[in-house]
């Protein structure tokens, strides 16, 4: 946890809680809609601003689908994806291959590491078969 940075605000905690409770990644729109069902609503611009601050604190990571949609997940869930560049199908990797990889000393360039991202891209089976057809 970054020492110089104040603890996440109440609204950031709220967003983080929603992300932790979800069984999948959520977009800013998803979070906006979820919060609308509760007592505490939050404007979409505010949702994105807090998500950005959560990323800066190393608590939330973000990935972009080929469609351009940004999806958010808590960094304490070490989960990564394999995405088809053709149809956009995204599946969860069973294990994080980076889980036991640690940077040491000079490799970190003096950084205090917070989290990592990792994505694989390829062609899913269905798209491979479709492309193989004459
Ligand atoms: Zn595909
Ligand atoms: Zn990982």
Please report how many Cα atoms fall inside a 13 Å half-sphere around the Cα of residue 88, on the Cβ side: 7
Reported as a single tens digit per residue, the pLDDT across 68-123 is 889 999 999 999 999 999 998 999 999 998 888 888 888 888 888 888 999 999 99
22 alpha carbon to ligand 1 midpoint, in Å?
Answer: 25
Reported as a single tens digit per residue, the pLDDT across 3-49 is 556 678 899 999 999 999 998 999 999 999 999 888 878 899 999 99
Contact indicator for 34, 15 with CB cutoff of 8 Å: no
Ligand nearest to the CA of 95: 2
Cβ-based neighbours of 89, under 8 Å, separated by 6 or more: 83, 124, 126
Encoded tokens for 3: 């020492």
Q: Please, which residues have CB less than 5 A from ligand 1, an ion? A: 84, 86-87, 89, 124, 127
Residue 1 above 50 pLDDT?
A: no
Ligand nearest to the CA of 92: 2
The C-alpha atoms of residue 42 and residue 31 are separated, in whole angstroms, by: 9
CA 76 to chain centre: 10
∠ at Cα 69 (82, 8), nearest 5°?
95
Q: Which of 122, 127, 117 is nearest to 66 (CA)?
A: 122
69 alpha carbon to ligand 1 midpoint, in Å?
Answer: 17
Domain 10-132 matching CATH 2.30.42.10: the answer reads no
pLDDT, position 5:
60
pLDDT, position 62:
95
77 alpha carbon to ligand 2 midpoint, in Å?
Answer: 8
Reported as a single tens digit per residue, the pLDDT across 61-77 is 999 988 888 999 999 99
Tell me the domain boundaries of the chain: 10-132
């Amino acid at each position: 946890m970054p020492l110089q940075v104040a603890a996440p605000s109440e609204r950031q905690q709220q967003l983080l809680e929603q992300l932790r409770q979800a069984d999948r990644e959520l977009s800013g729109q998803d979070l906006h809609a979820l919060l609308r069902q509760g007592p505490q609503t939050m404007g979409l611009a505010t949702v994105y601003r807090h998500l950005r601050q959560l990323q800066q604190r190393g608590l939330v990571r973000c990935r972009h689908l080929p469609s351009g949609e940004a999806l958010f997940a808590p960094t304490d869930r070490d989960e990564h994806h394999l995405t088809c560049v053709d149809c956009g199908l995204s599946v969860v990797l069973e294990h994080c291959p980076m889980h036991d990889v640690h940077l040491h000393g000079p490799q970190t360039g003096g950084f205090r590491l917070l989290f990592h991202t990792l994505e694989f891209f390829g062609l899913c089976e269905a798209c491979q078969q479709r492309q193989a057809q004459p």
